[in-house]
Structure 1
Amino acid sequence: MAPIPPGTLWSPPSIAPMLAVPGPLPVPDSDWAFETKWDGVRCVLGTTGDGSVRLTSRAGNDLTVTYPELQALGGELRGHGVVLDGELVALDASGRSDFGRLQSRMGVVNARRAGRLALDCPAHLMIFDVMYLDGRVLLGASYGERREVLSALAMSGAHWSAPSYVQGHGTQVWDAVVREGLEGVVAKRLSSPYTPGTRSAHWRKTKVVQTLDVVIGGWTQRRGAAVDVPGAVLVGVTGPTGLRYAGSVGSGMSEREQSELMAYFAVIARPTSPFADPVDVAGAHWVEPRLVAEVTASEWTRAGRLRHPVWQRLRPDLTRLD
């Protein structure tokens, strides 16, 4: 990097993060870069050159106090005005992002408590873009050019890094992500500019999801709908002590499927929960655990619940109504 006059302070602009659209891996892929999709919280980091940093969320909320371990990055970038884009994660012992661990850090605004949590469960900033450097706005530069600028900054610390990308070879990257148990892949067109605050087709995210069969043990009424219209089903999986509650699934269900389910629920209703463990869901209606459904989910939480579950279909081949 070029020398900066001592004492220079910059005024970096406020830049909202660019967003990706969900979709399949691009084909052909020679003009695309592929990155690991990290399971965390989007973060924009800005420095003025005085050794301090300011962190903001995707919604523009100030996160600076919440993650004090990132202040040291300001010292590494002292003398430079920079705006960086990345994902705040909490890593497990295998180096995988663990959203459950990060949740203990989120929303903390007391500096002393945030400092204690930073020691017990440190956050790590995965930096993947730079939008401003020393008075130069880089929004119009291509992704490839911006990554060259980012690489020249040579940032590496205990709580931040700038993971590399792979040009082309999307299928191989996908296979590696699945093999390592990571969240997914983000494909970015090498020629793409940075468009703040917009969901652009130049960035495409593909998530790894699990498909599994679950047993329906109850349902909840859909808000604002007529009586006896399910908004979600309460599902479980068979465990050593019986049916273990796995969460509530509502996303992805069509009106036809809702009507079909209600016809079944009227026949197999029961007064008590079929789950072996407590289910703290207001307004729950219980049914005999005879219906089996196929759902997808991104992962299991530490509490044993499905994360981001989506309804796929009822499994009549596995359902028992006799």
Structure 2
Amino acid sequence: MKPMLASSLSALPDGPGWAFEFKWDGVRALLDVSDGVVSIRSRNGNEISPAYPELVELATGVDDVLLDGEIVAFAGGRPSFERLQARMHVRSGAQARRLAVGTPVTFVVFDLLRRYGVGLASRPYVERRATLDRWIAERPGWTLSPFFDDGAATLAAAREHGLEGVLAKRLASPYRPGVRSPDWGKLRFVNSGEFVVVGWEGAAGQPDELSSLVLAQRRGGVFTFAGKVGSGLDARARTTIRRALDERASCPLDVPPQPSPGRVVSWCEPTVVVEVEYTMWTDDGRLRHPVFRTVRTDKDPQEATGDG
């Protein structure tokens, strides 16, 4: 089974018939316990159980069940994708067990798709959630994602606690595996800011063909690395920006960022300013989910502080 997916929203739906959940910044996963075997699979179907031994241990001994949820690493009470990244690609059992001690994860459950061999995907969301509530109540140690009937209040709470956004789910909706359905909608908080381009990445064999931009922000009188952006750059924008960049031999930043795998970085004079949308800043000062919007010819690079 593949996870059901949510459509993007610009505003939460009004009226009755909807439930609202927090959007957790983690890794979507299906946790399956069948014939005593625990399997955790990512959204694309990869087996990721070895990376999360504490979740396997939690589910060991549980009767037949299939759960949908999000693997989350918390820091200061908030989801931290940066902490989670240390766990995501580990396959060594010994290393995973060590990391589980210092960087534990939580499986935040929000749907129940099979119980005692009976599939529940065709049942309405509200019925599945009621069954899930009872299931969780009988099993200490499991974490349930709460749901609410007030969209505006859920939205305000999500913003207040620095969460990624809000999900809206139609109460009468079945679970449609692998389908991006309008019965589920996601409203992700989006910020925007202006950044100066200090370089670009290209393929190792074609370094002059721009694939992403290296960004910096002006802080304390100097430019500091803010991340890279490739999403939103169509062919026309790539060509236009590349022509405007004045290549230089050295990185204009104090600490040059590492190139992405299979890419090489070319540096340029910090003269071109771009506007970028993003969801949040990571703990190490990088843009999360950046998307290119436009070149800002009306902005001086000294004004590129990352603020909208």
1:155 Cα offset (Å): 5.1
Whether 1:109 and 2:87 are equivalent positions in the alignment is no
Whole-Å separation in 2 of the counterparts to 1:238 and 1:306:
14
Residue 257 of structure 2 is matched in structure 1 by 279
Q: Is the 8 A contact 1:68 1:114 kept in 2?
A: yes
The structure-2 alpha-carbon separation of the partners of 1:220 and 1:66, relative to structure 1 and needing over 3 Å to count, comes to closer
Counterpart AA for 2:71: L
1:59 Cα offset (Å): 2.2
Residue 61 of structure 1 is matched in structure 2 by 46
Residue 313 of structure 1 is matched in structure 2 by 294
Equivalent residue of 1:202, what SS? Answer: strand
2:238 to 236, 254, 258: 258
Residue 7 of structure 1 is matched in structure 2 by none
Whole-Å separation in 1 of the counterparts to 2:153 and 2:139:
26
The 5-angstrom pairing of residues 221-240 of structure 1 reads 221=202, 229-240=209-220
Equivalent residue of 1:277, what SS? Answer: coil
1:224 Cα offset (Å): 9.4
Residue 5 of structure 2 is matched in structure 1 by 19
State TM-score, norm by structure 2: 0.87
The structure-2 alpha-carbon separation of the partners of 1:34 and 1:278, relative to structure 1 and needing over 3 Å to count, comes to same
1:49 Cα offset (Å): 7.0
Equivalent residue of 1:104, what SS? Answer: helix
2:71 to 88, 91, 95: 88
Residue 127 of structure 1 is matched in structure 2 by 109
How far does the alpha carbon of each residue in 1:154-194 deviate from its partner, in whole angstroms, 9 at most, with x for none? 15544x31122012x32221122112110111111111101
Equivalent residue of 2:79, what SS? Answer: coil
Whole-Å separation in 2 of the counterparts to 1:32 and 1:274:
50
Whole-Å separation in 2 of the counterparts to 1:251 and 1:274:
23
Whole-Å separation in 2 of the counterparts to 1:86 and 1:235:
33
Any unmatched runs of 5+ in structure 1?
1-14
1:223 Cα offset (Å): 8.7
Whole-Å separation in 2 of the counterparts to 1:263 and 1:110:
46
2:281 to 293, 300, 319: 300
Q: Is the 8 A contact 2:196 2:301 kept in 1?
A: no
Residue 28 of structure 1 is matched in structure 2 by 14
State TM-score, norm by structure 1: 0.83
Which entry has the higher C-alpha Rg, 1 or 2? 1
State the number of aligned residues.
298
1:60 Cα offset (Å): 2.2
Deviating more after overlay: 184-193 vs 15-24:
15-24
The structure-2 alpha-carbon separation of the partners of 1:67 and 1:259, relative to structure 1 and needing over 3 Å to count, comes to closer
1:152 to 134, 144, 156: 134
Equivalent residue of 1:235, what SS? Answer: strand
1:72 Cα offset (Å): 4.5
Whole-Å separation in 2 of the counterparts to 1:119 and 1:66:
13
Residue 9 of structure 1 is matched in structure 2 by none
Counterpart AA for 1:42: R
Residue 305 of structure 2 is matched in structure 1 by none
Whole-Å separation in 2 of the counterparts to 1:259 and 1:182:
36
Q: Is the 8 A contact 1:245 1:275 kept in 2?
A: yes
2:125 to 121, 129, 143: 143
Deviating more after overlay: 19-28 vs 306-315:
19-28
1:116 Cα offset (Å): 1.8
Whole-Å separation in 1 of the counterparts to 2:34 and 2:244:
62
Counterpart AA for 1:271: A
RMSD, aligned α-carbons: 2.6
Whether 1:202 and 2:183 are equivalent positions in the alignment is yes
Residue 223 of structure 2 is matched in structure 1 by 243
Whole-Å separation in 1 of the counterparts to 2:69 and 2:20:
15
Whole-Å separation in 1 of the counterparts to 2:205 and 2:15:
45
1:234 Cα offset (Å): 1.5
1:304 Cα offset (Å): 2.7
Percent identity for Structure 1 against Structure 2: 37
Q: Is the 8 A contact 2:192 2:276 kept in 1?
A: yes
Q: Is the 8 A contact 1:82 1:134 kept in 2?
A: yes
How far does the alpha carbon of each residue in 1:250-299 deviate from its partner, in whole angstroms, 9 at most, with x for none? 2112444334323422xx44333222221333543332212221111222
